[in-house]
Amino acid sequence: MQYSQENFTQIQSELNKGEKLLWVGKPAQGFMLRKRDIFMIPFSLLWGGFAIFWGTAALSTGINFFSIFGLFFLIMGVYIMIGRFFYDIWRRYRTIYAITDERVIIKINNSISSTPLGRQTEIRFIPNSNQRGTIEFGPQVSFFFNSGIYTFFDLERHASNTYAGEN
């Protein structure tokens, strides 16, 4: 098994006694578009355009309740147009994935979430371009109706090798 010493050191303290680390890695880094952006980008542009229109119209009548209310929508519009991409980059930079003989672990900063591995655990690989891909653990979740929490790894390099247990 190959993994960086830094990632191993950060995840080692989270292991239970007797738990064996099988793989550790980081998610894909940098700017990334996802399937949901097909809907989110047009929606964010409409939201932002409306917020700018509202704010401009409200400010033309002077500072009042409507201009302050519009400021909230403008801030949210800036976040969903561009801020969410910077947040996603920041969050993935601070994320470490690990697979042990007992569970799947995701560590983001000092927050840990884990999913036990059992006989019924479904594991799926969804390939993307340039050796990137997503490995999903647990039951498949609907695109529109996410009825529960599921665990997934967005991997930058050698995603298919990791899924096959080669890396």
Q: Binning pLDDT at 50, 70 and 90, where does residue 32 land?
A: confident
How do residues 86-98 score in pLDDT, each as one tens digit? 998 998 888 888 8
What pLDDT is attached to residue 140? Answer: 58
If one compares 129 and 33, the residue with the highest pLDDT of the two is: 33
Domain assignments of the chain as residue spans, ordered by start? 5-28+97-164, 37-89
Phi and psi at residue 31, in whole multiples of 5°?
A: -70, 135
- Does the predicted TM-score (pTM) go above 0.75? no
Which element (helix H / strand E) includes 155?
Answer: strand 151-155
**What's the average model confidence in pLDDT over 130-147?**
59
pLDDT reported for residue 150: 44
- Residue scoring higher pLDDT (119 or 81): 81
What does the alpha-carbon distance between residue 118 and residue 11 come to, in Å, rounded to a whole number? 21
Between vectors from CA 100 to CA 95 and to CA 106, what angle results, nearest 5°? 20
**pLDDT above 50 for 149:** no
Please indicate whether residue 111 or residue 162 has the higher confidence score (pLDDT). Answer: 111
Specify whether the CB–CB gap between 99 and 107 falls below 8 A.
no
Tens digits of residue pLDDT in 7-23: 777 888 888 899 988 88
Q: What is the pLDDT of residue 85?
A: 93
Residue 41 banded pLDDT, cuts 50, 70, 90: very high
